[in-house]
């Protein structure tokens, strides 16, 4: 069993919820943000000392939900502040960006870190497309073409041209190229069964984020494994991530009350405007390939806002409690889903940073030693693509 320490870098200083997206940036205080960035980066680096195997970053726009517009900048800082943990870009929103730029920056991170990059190829959540003025209906086809282009840029030794539907380049030959061969491990999101199958077809690791319950998570994983078998490879536990909000304290009731407070800020303040924007996008576009997946996403947004922490614990979709309790929760989830990685998010909403640090130390001292051997797995491998 392995763990990544994930951080959204939220703005944790709102006094009241906002209704309108995008949130006006007059609320943003650059001086306070300088302090926050330093705290957040130091916390992420400290995760290596506390036994996490990787440190996760991601990308969001126009939002206090996550102040990481370019996760590669944070990843570059982490290469200098850490020595052995994976640098997990979970990740670049590839359809919104220049894929050659993504290939180059990821290659830089891999080389600078000595081959520690995990490369996230994410489609993003619906409202990000409004921020960058990209047609949400093209999100899947853009991701597909960009994925093939980036992989070719990483692996093709000679200059090549590219004439696709969305991207055209006369000649491509990136410097540097990645240190990991044939290329760094790729992770793709599996928020629904269509996305999971897409990840499998691309021989990518599967990242599952905020599932409503373990049964739904199992269906997503089964879709991933079934599709991988059809295209000729067999993922193991080391290819499957699940993200869980995590709060560890010295007593169960303390952890529950702490997570309640942080989740309330997260859902009512940080997620409120995003939820409103995303529902508008979903009503007006074909962002999801099927009506079933669109309905599932909308329902997940609603449930995330209304579900209590006690219900989430019962459903197995958070880690919350004293160390002994969290160990039992991890064992239960792993037994039902068979994953090899947990991506923990501990800075939830406005949970105080000192509380996060204390939870990290409890994880190091009492949780990790009890769960490391649940599922032993080798370093992530990169299966060669099937033509």
Give residue-wise pLDDT tens across range 135-151.
888 999 999 999 999 99
Strand partners, 18: none
Domains contained in the chain, CATH given: 2-371 (3.20.20.30)
Q: Are 88 and 350 in contact (CB under 8 A)?
A: no
Q: Both tokens of residue 50?
A: 């506390």
> Rounded to whole angstroms, what are the CA distances from 387 to 184, 205, 382, 384?
19, 18, 15, 9
Q: What is the pLDDT of residue 280?
A: 65
The model's pLDDT over 7-26, given as tens digits with 9 standing for 90+, comes to 999 999 988 777 777 888 88
Q: Are 60 and 29 in contact (CB under 8 A)?
A: no
Residue 49 has pLDDT above 60, yes or no: yes
As a whole number of angstroms, the distance between CA 22 and CA 30 comes to: 18
Q: What is the pLDDT of residue 297?
A: 56
Burial of residue 123 (CB within 10 Å: 0-12, 13-18, 19+) is: buried
Other Cβ atoms within 10 Å of 29 Cβ, number? 12
Q: Both tokens of residue 47?
A: 């995760």
Residue 325 has pLDDT above 70, yes or no: yes
Share of the chain above pLDDT 70, in %: 88
User: In the block, which residue shows the tokens 């193991």?
Assistant: 236
Nearest to 244 by CA among 280, 214, 287: 214
Residue 299 has pLDDT above 80, yes or no: no
pTM confidence score: 0.90
287 or 1: which leads in pLDDT: 1
- Mean pLDDT of all residues in the chain? 90
């Amino acid at each position: 069993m392995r763990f990544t320490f994930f951080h959204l870098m939220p703005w944790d200083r709102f006094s009241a919820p906002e209704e309108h997206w995008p949130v006006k940036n007059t609320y943003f205080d650059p001086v306070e943000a300088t302090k926050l960035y330093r705290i957040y980066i130091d916390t992420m680096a400290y995760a290596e000392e506390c036994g996490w195997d990787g440190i996760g970053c991601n990308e969001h726009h126009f939002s206090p939900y996550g102040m990481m517009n370019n996760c590669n900048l944070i990843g570059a800082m982490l290469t200098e502040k850490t020595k052995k943990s994976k640098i997990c870009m979970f990740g670049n929103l590839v359809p919104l960006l220049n894929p050659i730029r993504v290939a180059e920056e990821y290659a830089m991170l891999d080389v600078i870190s000595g081959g520690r990059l995990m490369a996230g190829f994410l489609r993003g959540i619906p409202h990000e497309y409004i921020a960058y003025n990209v047609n949400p209906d093209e999100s899947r086809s853009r991701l597909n073409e960009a994925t093939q282009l980036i992989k070719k840029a990483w692996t093709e030794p000679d200059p090549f041209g590219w004439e696709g539907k969305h991207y055209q380049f006369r000649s491509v030959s990136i410097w540097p190229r990645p240190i990991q061969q044939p290329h760094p491990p790729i992770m793709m999101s599996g928020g629904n069964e269509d996305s999971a199958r897409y990840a499998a077809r691309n021989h990518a690791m599967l990242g599952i984020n905020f599932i409503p319950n373990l049964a739904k998570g199992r269906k997503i994983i089964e879709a991933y494994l079934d599709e991988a078998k059809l295209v000729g490879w067999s993922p193991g536990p080391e290819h499957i991530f699940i993200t869980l909000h995590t709060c560890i304290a010295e007593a169960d009731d303390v952890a529950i009350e702490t997570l309640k407070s942080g989740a309330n800020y997260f859902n009512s303040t940080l997620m409120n405007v995003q939820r409103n924007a995303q529902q508008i996008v979903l009503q007006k576009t074909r962002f999801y390939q099927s009506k079933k997946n669109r309905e599932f996403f909308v329902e997940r947004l609603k449930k995330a806002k209304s579900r209590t922490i006690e219900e989430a614990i019962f459903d197995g979709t958070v880690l919350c409690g004293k160390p002994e309790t969290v160990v039992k929760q991890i064992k239960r989830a792993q037994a039902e889903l068979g994953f090899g990685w947990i991506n923990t998010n501990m800075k939830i909403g406005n949970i105080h940073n000192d509380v996060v640090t204390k939870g990290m130390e409890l994880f190091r001292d009492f949780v990790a030693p009890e769960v490391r051997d649940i599922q032993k797995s080798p370093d992530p491998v990169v299966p060669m693509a099937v033509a």
